Amino acid sequence: MQNEEELLHEVTNKEYEYGFETNIESDTIAPGLSEDVVRRISKKKDEPQWLLDWRLKAFAIWKNMKEPEWAHVKYPKPDFQAISYYSAPKPKKELASLDEVDPEILKTMERLGISLEEQKKLTGVAIDFVIDSVSVATSFKEKLGELGIIFCSMSEAIKEHPELVRKYLGTVVPQSDNFYAALNSAVFTDGSFCYIPKGTRCPMELSTYFRINESGTGQFERTMVIADEGSYVSYLEGCTAPQRDENQLHAAVVELIALDNAEIKYSTVQNWYPGDKNGLGGVFNFVTKRGICHKRSKISWTQVETGSAVTWKYPSCILKGDYSIGEFFSVAVTNNYQQADTGTKMIHLGKHTKSTIISKGISSGHSQNSYRGLVQISKNAINSRNFSQCDSLLMTDHCGAHTFPYIEVNNQSSMVEHEATTSKIGEDKIFYCKQRGISEEKAIGLIVNGYAKEVLNKLPMEFAVEAQKLLEISLENSVG
C-alpha cells in the first residue's frame, strides 16, 4: 500500500510530466494514412460532420496525387505510411535546468539576445509560472477580446466560431491545390486562427509566441487570418531561436483573407533545424501560403528563411479586388547542404492591382537557393503593375543560386518590371571592413545585412533586430 505522501508525489509528478492531458499512449494513432485514420483524427478532435466530410474529400484527392517534382530540390521522398498523423499535443520533455540543453543551442540563443527565462521556455526547461510573459499574454488576450478580435488555436476556433471557419476554410487554398496542401487538409491537427472585426485596427503585433498555453507547432499546421472590412493586423509567425523538431516533414497551410479595404501584414522567421554540416537530418518544410485580396485591400508577406534542410514555399497573393495590393519581401539564406526553392505568385485579377516582389537569396557552403516566381496579369486586370527584384548573393564557390521567373501578361495596359542581379560577396568589401578594425565575421554580417536591408526593414522592429543577428549566425565561417 502506498501512503498518502507517496501517492501525492506520484500524482504531482505525473501532472508535471504530462500536463492535464489524458494518457499519451492511447492518444496516438499508429503510423499510416487511410480514410479510417482521417475519421479517427476528426473524431478525437470532436469535430462537426462538415469538417470530417471536408477532410475526407481532401484525402480522396490526395490519394490520386503525386508528390511534385518540379522544384529545384533533391531529397529522399518521405514514406507517408510511416508517419503517425495524430498524437496528442504532448508537452516537450521537461529538463531540470539549462545545463541539460545542447550547449550549441544555448550559445546561439545567447547571441540572439534571448533572455534566460525565454531560453528556458524555448528549450523546455521547467519554469516558474509567475514569469512576466504569462501575465503579459493574459492581459493581451483580454485587451484583444475587448476589441472583438479572435486569436486562438484552430481547434478552439472550430469549436467556438464554426461559422467563420466553415465560411473561409479552403477558400484560398482548396484541398486540391497541391499534394502537400491536400495532405494537410486531410490530417491537420491544429494551428492558429485570427479574426479582426470590421474597422478594427489590431493594436499589437499578433504572435503565436503569446499563445504560450498552446502546445508547440505541429507537423501539419493550419493557420487562418481573416481581416474583415477596413481592418488591419500584423501577424508574426515563428521565432529566431533555433527550433529542433523530431518531425522531419512539415506541411503547413496558411490562408489569409483580406476583405474590402483591409490590410494584413504577415511576417515569418523560419529557423527550423537545417541538418548538420554534412547535410544529415533537418526538417523538410513544404508550406502552402496564400492570401486573397478583396477591393482596395493589401497583403504583405515578409519572410526570413534560414532554417530547414529543404524549403518549398511560395507565399502568394490573389489580387481579386480592384485596386488591391500584394507584396512579397523575402530573405532566404542557405548554408552547408540546405536547399531552398522559394518565391511567390502574384495573380492579378482585379483592375488597377499592384504587386511588389523583393527577393534576396544568400547561398553559402554547398547549398542551392532558388527563387521561383509567377506574375500573372489576367485579361481583365487592366492598368495593373508589378515590380520584381530578385538578387542573389553567393558566399562560396560551391553553392548555387537560381532564378525561375514566370511572367504572363494578358492585357495591353499593364506594366511589369523585373530586375535581377547575382553577385559574389566582395573580397574588397570585406578587406575594407577589416581594415577599419571589424572582424571578418562581423564584416560579413554587416555586408549581408546591408544587402538584405530592404527586406529586414519590413519586419516589425524587435523582430528585425533578432533577424539581423540570425543572418550573421547562419552564415558563420561561410566565406570561401
Partner 1 sequence: MIKITNLHASVEGTEILKGINLEIKPGEVHAIMGPNGSGKSTLASVLAGREDYEITEGSIEFLDKDLLDMDIDVRAKEGLFLAFQYPVEIPGVSNVNFLKAAINEKRKYFGQDDISAKEFLTAVKENSALVELDGKLKNRSVNEGFSGGEKKRNDIFQMAMLQPKFAILDETDSGLDIDALQVVAKGVNAMRNDNRSFLIITHYQRLLDYIVPDFVHVLYDGQIVKSGTKELAMEMEEKGYDWIKNN
Q: How far is CA 373 from CA 127, 358, 385, in A?
A: 44, 11, 15
Q: Is 396 in the site for partner 1 (CB under 8 A)?
A: no
Q: Which of residues 27, 47, 94, 454 is near partner 1 by CB under 8 A?
A: 454
Q: Is 421 in the site for partner 1 (CB under 8 A)?
A: no
Q: How far is CA 90 from CA 17, 162, 310, 467, 476, in A?
A: 9, 25, 26, 29, 34
Smaller CB distance to partner 1: residue 134 or 446? 446
Q: Is 358 in the site for partner 1 (CB under 8 A)?
A: no
Smaller CB distance to partner 1: residue 45 or 453? 453
The residue behind cell 495596359 is 413
User: Segment near partner 1 (CB under 8 A), from 39-47, 181-189, 204-212, 434-442?
Assistant: 434-442
Total interface residues for partner 1 by CB under 8 A: 23
Q: Is 103 in the site for partner 1 (CB under 8 A)?
A: no
Q: Which of residues 447, 464, 470, 473 is near partner 1 by CB under 8 A?
A: 447
Q: Is 389 in the site for partner 1 (CB under 8 A)?
A: no
In whole angstroms, the minimum distance from the beta carbon of 334 to partner 1 comes to: 20
Q: Which of residues 244, 424, 429, 469 is near partner 1 by CB under 8 A?
A: 429
Per-residue contact flags (x/-) with partner 1 for residues 124 to 163, judged by CB under 8 A: ----------------------------------------
Q: Which of residues 426, 462, 477, 480 is near partner 1 by CB under 8 A?
A: 426
Q: Is 247 in the site for partner 1 (CB under 8 A)?
A: no
Q: Is 111 in the site for partner 1 (CB under 8 A)?
A: no
Question: How far is Cα 356 from Cα 300, in angstroms, rounded to an integer?
Answer: 9
Three-state DSSP state, 392: strand
Q: Which of residues 431, 462, 477, 480 is near partner 1 by CB under 8 A?
A: 431
Smaller CB distance to partner 1: residue 141 or 453? 453
Smaller CB distance to partner 1: residue 76 or 437? 437
Smaller CB distance to partner 1: residue 406 or 432? 432
Residue type, 343: G
Question: How far is Cα 57 from Cα 97, in angstroms, rounded to an integer?
Answer: 46
Question: How far is Cα 280 from Cα 338, in angstroms, rounded to an integer?
Answer: 10
Smaller CB distance to partner 1: residue 346 or 447? 447
Any idea what the Cα angle at residue 184 is, between residues 181 and 188, rounded to 5°?
A: 155
Q: Is 198 in the site for partner 1 (CB under 8 A)?
A: no
Q: How far is CA 477 from CA 92, 399, 442, 446, 473, in A?
A: 32, 14, 11, 14, 9
Q: How far is CA 421 from CA 38, 46, 468, in A?
A: 46, 52, 22
Question: How far is Cα 8 from Cα 68, in angstroms, rounded to an integer?
Answer: 54
Beta bridge partners of 340: 311, 369
**Cβ neighbours of residue 107 under 8 Å, at least 6 residues apart?**
none
**Cβ neighbours of residue 156 under 8 Å, at least 6 residues apart?**
193
Binding positions for partner 1, 68-97, rule CB under 8 A: none
* 385 neighbors 414 (Cβ within 8 angstroms): yes
Smaller CB distance to partner 1: residue 38 or 393? 393
Q: Is 331 in the site for partner 1 (CB under 8 A)?
A: no
Residue ranges in contact with partner 1 by CB under 8 A: 426, 428-429, 431-440, 442-443, 446-447, 449-454
